[in-house]
Amino acid sequence: MLDTSAQKSIDNLKKILTNEDMTFNEQTTKHFLILPFLTSLGYDITDPNVLKHEFKPANLRGNNDKVDYALDLGDFKIIIEAKPLNTNIKRHYHQLQKYYNSTPEVQLGIITDG
């Protein structure tokens, strides 16, 4: 059984995904799909010690590349690269691979379109 905040997130997701007037660019996808999903999993997306926005891998020097999100769960770290809804994410695997390989402390890399 889901708690009330998780159920509310799921209900909002259903409304958003069935709204034909909504345009999903990367920011919209992150705000309305990815962040509510992380919240429903129990992560505190308002805690900058847990969720880091625009995380810059330390080993990418002199480059403006940033991962959309990094989840810091103590000994376990996750990076999340977001793309707009309905994007063919296979075309972007190399980007996630570059971020993952540049961040040795990360155990899991995710690329998603929401």
What is residue 11's predicted lDDT score, i.e. its pLDDT?
78
Question: How many CB atoms lie under 10 A from the CB of residue 37?
Answer: 17
Residues 6+ away with beta carbon under 8 Å from 100: 79, 106, 109
Number of domains in the chain: 1
pLDDT at 74 over 60: yes
Listed range (22-26, 31-35, 48-52, 54-58) with the worst mean pLDDT: 22-26
Question: Who wins on pLDDT, 2 or 52?
Answer: 52
Using the predicted structure, report yes or no on whether residue 47 has a pLDDT greater than 90: yes
Domain, as residue range, for 59 = 4-112
Mean pLDDT along residues 31-51 = 90
Torsion over CA: 14, 16, 21, 27 (sign): negative
Q: Evaluate if residue 85 carries a pLDDT over 80.
A: yes
pTM: 0.81
Helices (H) and strands (E) in the chain, counts: 4, 4
